[in-house]
Structure 1
Amino acid sequence: MSDSLIFAIGLVLIIEGIGPMLFPNRWRSYMQKLAGQNGSELRMLGGVMVVIGLMILWYLQ
């Protein structure tokens, strides 16, 4: 279990790091737009991401 969790965290860090590494200006612009969203829109985005992640994990199991 702990190996899988560490593996998953490593993958998240790699995927999240690709944007700022390859496209720093676009990434900064995207983050500024995201920071300007209201709380309910961010909550909806987070919920959609969680559901997609759960669906991927369910599919892989």
Structure 2
Amino acid sequence: MNTSIWLAVGLVMVLEGLGPMLWPKAWRRMITAMTQLPDNVLRRFGGGIVVAGCVIYYMLRVHNGG
């Protein structure tokens, strides 16, 4: 697999781990609240994150000449 993929996976793991490491109670409340949301809201939220990630990736690729 490409090294860039592993770097991206590592960065995601670091970012995902910050919430429970630094603010465990708030993180737990957020997760509990998210379980109560309807599926369509979660899909929109997830889709927005995917789109934002693709835009950031594209902008970095274009900016860095990749």
TM range, normalised to the smaller chain?
over 0.9
Figure out how many residues of one structure are paired with residues of the other and give that number: 61
Please identify runs of 4+ aligned residues in structure 1 that moved more than 4 A.
Answer: none
Cα separation, 2, equivalents of 1:13 and 1:2: 17
Q: Is residue 26 of structure 1 aligned with residue 20 of structure 2?
A: no
TM-score (norm 1): 0.96
**TM-score, normalised on structure 2?**
0.89
Could you say what secondary structure the match of 1:37 adopts? Answer: coil
Give 2:6's aligned residue.
Answer: 6
Unpaired stretches in structure 2, ≥5 consecutive residues? 62-66
Identity, in percent, stands at 39
Gaps in structure 1 of 5+ consecutive residues = none
Give the aligned CA root-mean-square deviation in angstroms.
0.8
Cα distance between partner residues in 1 of 2:2 and 2:54: 18
- Partner amino acid, structure 2, of 1:12: V
